[in-house]
Structure 1
């Protein structure tokens, strides 16, 4: 519906969004490692480093050649794996547009902690929605969803330049862009219960909602004390 291109919300405290750029670089580097793998090896990498709810929650075992890291570690590694260029590109675009202002709002170290916690919360929300699932969960979208939740509370009226229906450039307030985004997630949960398709190719809507909620809660305690909520920002 909305494809964000940029916001009109300059940095106020930090000179450069080093963690945001570093996270993008890490995700891109991980995907570039995935790309040349043969099809079977690529799928095995996703099984090894993605989070499989049945393994994490029900303590089912992966074959020894796939269990290369502890199941708990996949809470982190799954955030850096992606299923394709569009999956990667969409997540990195949202991270680039909205992540810098959240990093600015709390500082570099806190932002990295915030990102990881949101990603873990998103992964747990997805896993708890279907703990017996054997489909691996991968992608940064849960952590990025946390950024969107925080941005909605901090800068709801800042203008975001979007492509409406991926064609028409249009400046819209962030509360419309992000409110529309979260409404779409809730609608899809209503349609299919928030679970991806049985072949693992669907979207984990509960992960998005879990990450979004975590971001809204965490920003309340992690933002700079002198930064108000619902800030108009600068156009």
Structure 2
């Protein structure tokens, strides 16, 4: 998996919406029970039960989206010891939840440090240029639209699932799809694994094209929506919508500067 680090694609204005989205995601994460204490979100049973209750309340559950109602029993965040050992307690929901609104809240909930940092890295690198091209208001609407399409698309493909879909991946995938269409030749400094990570400057079409191919390949199994798995099909849907929306914007898009040509040293040059 190629890890992007920085793109060579300057912007004309400060991407305040991208910065605000990153800050909001981080703030919500720091207030999420059970994930801050360990790097991978693994903790005690009590922490895991509280995290399960939190993601079930604020995440987008496919069967809730399809049927527009809550189940009779949901995780409460408590623990108990039963015949098969300790586990999380289920009970009637003690809160009101709007399934359509849960798609929005789910975009800001992450299940581990790795989940958060991976999403924010991609948003930091590629979001500023899409915001610069669309403008702040249209960019925010675009981001949310891709997130909603990914959430409901995942639910339609797996309507009986009770696993919460969380994370900004679907919305960010839309940003990546738009970037691929608008700036395919932009250079992206990336870490390429080959025995160890080698920094290379690759075209965006190679970095993001490979990312999309991997997501499409993994989506054959539809993935899982919670912190323990990845909803690859949601990534594919968000990416495809973002790319589709960006197609009519490509003719008027200012392209990044071309990298300087490599000059082969002559006999008069120091080697």
- TM-score of the superposed pair, with normalisation by structure 2: 0.78
Of residues 115, 135, 145, the one that matches 2:173 is 145
Q: Relative to 1, partners in 2 of residues 1:188 and 1:36: Cα closer, same or farther, differing over 3 Å?
A: closer
Aligned pairs (5 A) from 1:25-104: 25-35=23-33, 38-62=47-71, 63=73, 64-65=92-93, 67-104=95-132
What is residue 21 of structure 1 aligned with on the other side? Answer: 19
Instruction: Report the number of matched residues.
Output: 227
Deviation of 1:151 after TM superposition, in Å, equals: 0.3
Structure 1 runs not aligned, ≥5 long: none
What is residue 188 of structure 1 aligned with on the other side? Answer: 218
Q: Write 1 or 2 for the structure with the bigger share of helix.
A: 1
Question: Distance in 2 between the 1:145 and 1:24 partners?
Answer: 15
What is residue 11 of structure 2 aligned with on the other side? Answer: 11
Of residues 224, 227, 231, the one that matches 2:253 is 227
Question: Distance in 2 between the 1:57 and 1:225 partners?
Answer: 38
Question: Distance in 2 between the 1:8 and 1:65 partners?
Answer: 49
Deviation of 1:203 after TM superposition, in Å, equals: 0.9
Q: What per-residue deviation string (whole Å, max 9, x for no partner) do you get for residues 104-146 of structure 1? A: 0011111101100010011111111101101000000000000
Does the 8 Å contact 2:33/2:50 carry over to 1?
no
Secondary structure at the aligned position of 1:161 is classed as: strand
Secondary structure at the aligned position of 1:183 is classed as: helix
Structure 2 runs not aligned, ≥5 long: 36-46, 74-91, 260-271
Q: What per-residue deviation string (whole Å, max 9, x for no partner) do you get for residues 148-195 of structure 1? A: 0000000001110011127111110000000000000111123x2x23
Q: Write 1 or 2 for the structure with the bigger share of strand.
A: 2
Q: Relative to 1, partners in 2 of residues 1:122 and 1:34: Cα closer, same or farther, differing over 3 Å?
A: same
Question: Distance in 2 between the 1:28 and 1:164 partners?
Answer: 27
1:167 aligned to 2:197? Answer: yes
Deviation of 1:36 after TM superposition, in Å, equals: 5.5
